[in-house]
Chain A
Amino acid sequence: MVTYAQDIWRCRYFWMSLVKMDLQNRYRRSVLGIGWSLLNPIAMTTVMCIVFVKVFGQDLREFAPSLMAGLAIWTYVVTSMLNGCQCFFIGEQYIRQYPAPLAIYPLRTALGGTIHFGLALLVVFALAVYAHATAPLPVDVEGPMTEMDELAVNAHATAPAPAVTDAVRAARAKAALFHAGVPGPAALLSLIPAIVLLFLFGWSVALLAGFANVIFKDTQHLAEVGLQIVFYASPIIVPKEVFVKNGLTWILTCNPVVAFLDMIRIPLLEGHVPHPMVFAKAMVTVGILMLASGLMLLRQQKRLIFYL
């Protein structure tokens, strides 16, 4: 394992140049350059905000940054898996000429995806800071009922709630929490291990998907369908409260993507470091995937060229 990592390090200039080349190729002849890669999440967020705020009555200031962060993470997961399926085909000409450690091809995919994710995250951060800065002033949780409170309560309730004061208190507390939640230095620092874990997750997923797609050519199609299912089973566009309210908490506990969503969203939107359990869950997921990748490399690395 150590010698393998050393081999990967030894050809670092090669795969770093591939990553750089992928980025350059994408924006070589375009006007906006790297801006195009941000257009997709921004456009998706705008459209979904219009739908969800106007139609379903979600609070725009909370929803937009949360949605955009979720979409950025989801885009990363999807591109890791789908580009990962192709990574050995894209690198086929190198594989046939030069016996490099095969992990560098999914590494190329994961690094490219992480760079795009990092850029999207900057935009999310800007959006979150703007949302916090323009939020209404801190509210007095125990104060008298106002018209605004009635609107806030009615927007969130599915049926007339008898305990109006409790619901109002909760809505006000949430507003206060949101306003207080400009990310501090500790929260921002906690993003670093979060991004590292996300990168390792993407690398392992790309590696496993790459091997699977070479051995079974229809893996990519199955992955596309599977990812759609996981998308709707994750709190990306649908808030967590909806899952809990409908008794679907077990989906949230079983879904590995939830931990990664929390790790990134909580520091940015609520401004504090996530609970250690979130990190633990992410680390366990990454650990299992890396173990699977290691086993796959051990067994199939030498045989991959016969499948290409």
Chain B
Amino acid sequence: MARIELDNVSLTFTVRKQGRVSLKEFLVRGLFRPSVNPHIQVEALKDVSLRMGVGERLGVLGHNGAGKSTLLKVLAGIYPPTRGKRFVEGRISSLFDIALGFEPEATGWENIAYRGYLQGETPVSIQTKKQPIAEFSELGDFLNMPVRYYSAGMIVRLAFSIATAIKPEILLVDEVLSVGDMAFQHKARQRIHEMIGKAQLIVVVSHDLGSLAKLCSQAVWMDHGRIRQMGPVQQIIDAYTASVQKPPAPAPVKAA
């Protein structure tokens, strides 16, 4: 049974102004108080609580930098919460940044296998899926070429085809609904609908409010790391649209 529970989850990133620290600087810092590379605390999520069960479809919307993608990554288990508890039950399939994770020197066919293994497939199961994935991507003979020769749109087609060829229990989607050319967009939307039909639980982040309204039953409005409002999808969309007359400024960050 798929289940998501976030209890007062907060996530704070500690970022340094100048990239990563060297051992020399770490040792010297103990001797001389003011550092040339101070911390910056970024509170990406503040006291987020969420409970979802089987059959629920949640949309996440909000301004840029509100914490929508971070929320999805916390749900996927990539970022551990700084405070609060995360409990997710069920096999998670995520569609983030789908052009990441390609090996440029390998051919399209080989990348289908690699991405498949990343998603938990076995060599046997990926064999049966290779042909349907290839047909959905419509890349034909290009699949025999190394991926580094593909155009951006071709990569996205391939990534999308691979990522959606799985049977998800919990599906997390991060702004991949706007992909490829128009013909492919239509196909992609249908595919997402199919996946959503098969998944037990989905969370979708998107700026395309029309798609959200069609796909989701509930929605959550993220604002500067907090949940500003949660409820039926159309109600939240209306509230968000109304507020967008005055776009909010990015949240100030505290320097140490």
Contact = CB atoms under 8 A, between A and B. Distances in A.
A254 to B, nearest CB: 24
Interface in B97-131: 97, 100-101, 103, 105-106, 110, 113-114, 117-123
B78 A21 contact: no
Contact of B118 (A25, A94, A214): A94
Residue of A97, A216, A217 most packed against chain B (CB within 10 A): A97
Contact of B103 (A13, A21, A97): A21
Interface in A154-213: none
A16 B119 CA distance: 14
B65 interface: no
Interface stretch (A66-74, A230-238, A300-308): A300-308
Contacts of B117: 11, 13-14, 16-17
Contact size class for B?
20 to 34
B19 interface: yes
A99 B94 CA distance: 11
Given A97-B96, A99-B76, A305-B78, A21 B23 contact: no
Interface string A70-96: 000000000000000000000001111
A96 B97 CA distance: 9
B109 to A, nearest CB: 12
A66 to B, nearest CB: 36
A222 interface: yes
B114 A11 contact: no
Interface residues of A, number: 30
Nearest to B99: A93
Majority-rule SS of A interface residues: helix
A224 interface: no
A216 B23 contact: yes
B13 interface: yes
A99 B105 contact: no
Contacts of B24: 218
B14 interface: yes
Contact of B21 (A21, A93, A94, A217): A217
Contacts of B55: none
Interface string A217-250: 1110010000000000000000000000000000
Interface of A: 10-11, 13-14, 16-18, 21, 24-25, 28, 93-99, 214-219, 222, 302-303, 305-307
Given A13-B121, A94-B118, 15 more contacts: A13-B123, A14-B117, A24-B106, A25-B105, A95-B78, A96-B78, A97-B94, A97-B100, A98-B119, A99-B77, A99-B78, A215-B20, A217-B19, A218-B24, A305-B79
17 contacts: A10-B120, A11-B120, A13-B117, A17-B113, A24-B106, A94-B101, A94-B118, A96-B78, A96-B97, A99-B77, A215-B20, A216-B20, A216-B26, A217-B20, A219-B23, A306-B13, A306-B14
